[in-house]
Structure 1
Amino acid sequence: MRKIIEFNESKFEDGVLHLHTEQDDLIKGIKPAGQIIADSERFAFVYLAENEEEFVYLYLDESIWGQLKKALEEKSRVIVKSKEESFELEGFHEELDYLISNIEGNGNYGDEMVKKVETAFID
């Protein structure tokens, strides 16, 4: 079964984008894997992290894309935070830039995903 982390709050603090989760149990012991993939069915980007046994999927849902765009434009650090743990999403800018350029005009991701990404990040 996939381990999925979702964020209940995202906000900029001192030029850093903080993604907050209450899923402390899943955050413990994970490390950034430095890769982002797309979930076209849920209209989300998924940052891959890992623990000793498996990948953990950090869902960057459409609701925070405006802040992700700002983080890209300003080259802001992106930090995942829970009550007890925090870590930076390594390779975030390069990976998201690459994925956005791949999705642009590419029907393989589904027309609706392409439209949403182009509207949020390119238009």
Structure 2
Amino acid sequence: MRIYVNEIKVTKDSLNCYTEQSTEGLQEAGQMLVDSDNYSFAYILDDGQSYSYLIFVQETWSMLHENKNKKIIINDHLELKQFGRELNYILDNIQGNSNYGKAFVSVVEDTFELE
């Protein structure tokens, strides 16, 4: 299932992300994927039987970047403790890597201020 983050609220300590679909019973799997065709990052969630993809579309990226040292909390109950590490890993992999497509790499590098 694809679960889209459609609202983000910034607090002093956290980035509170909200989805229309329920995330009850889901836990982070600690892995992020890239959808370079649709300009999004997909963070994998697990319910013990199947995976769901928590989708961060391009419009959310600047908030992720500007608040990169804050906790990520989904629907007020699910803290993504490995999110920052996974995002950094994927950004390192994307930087200068034309396998993702030049346009996608350029947008990611600009948004996340990669050099």
| Shorter-chain TM-score above 0.5 | yes
The answer to whether structure 1 residue 108 and structure 2 residue 75 are counterparts is no
TM-score (normalizing by structure 1): 0.87
Between the aligned partners of 2:90 and 2:72, the Cα distance in structure 1 is: 17
SS class of match (1:100): helix
* Structure 2 counterpart of 1:19: 17
* Structure 1 counterpart of 2:3: 5
- Confirm or deny: 8 A CA contact 1:33 1:90 kept in the other structure: no
TM-score (normalizing by structure 2): 0.93
User: What does residue range 79-98 of structure 1 map to in structure 2 within 5 Å?
Assistant: 79-81=73-75, 86-98=77-89
Aligned-pair Cα RMSD in Å: 1.2
Instruction: Report the Cα offset of residue 22 of structure 1.
Output: 1.7
Between the aligned partners of 1:33 and 1:111, the Cα distance in structure 2 is: 29
Report Cα offsets for 1:86-121 as digits up to 9, x if no partner: 201121111111110110110111111101100100
Which structure carries more helix by proportion? 1
- Identity percentage over the alignment? 33
The answer to whether structure 1 residue 63 and structure 2 residue 59 are counterparts is yes
Instruction: Report the Cα offset of residue 78 of structure 1.
Output: 0.4
* Structure 1 counterpart of 2:110: 119
Instruction: Report the Cα offset of residue 21 of structure 1.
Output: 1.0
- Confirm or deny: 8 A CA contact 1:37 1:45 kept in the other structure: yes
Unaligned 5+ runs, structure 2:
none
Length, aligned pairs only: 114
Between the aligned partners of 1:21 and 1:94, the Cα distance in structure 2 is: 22
Unaligned 5+ runs, structure 1:
none
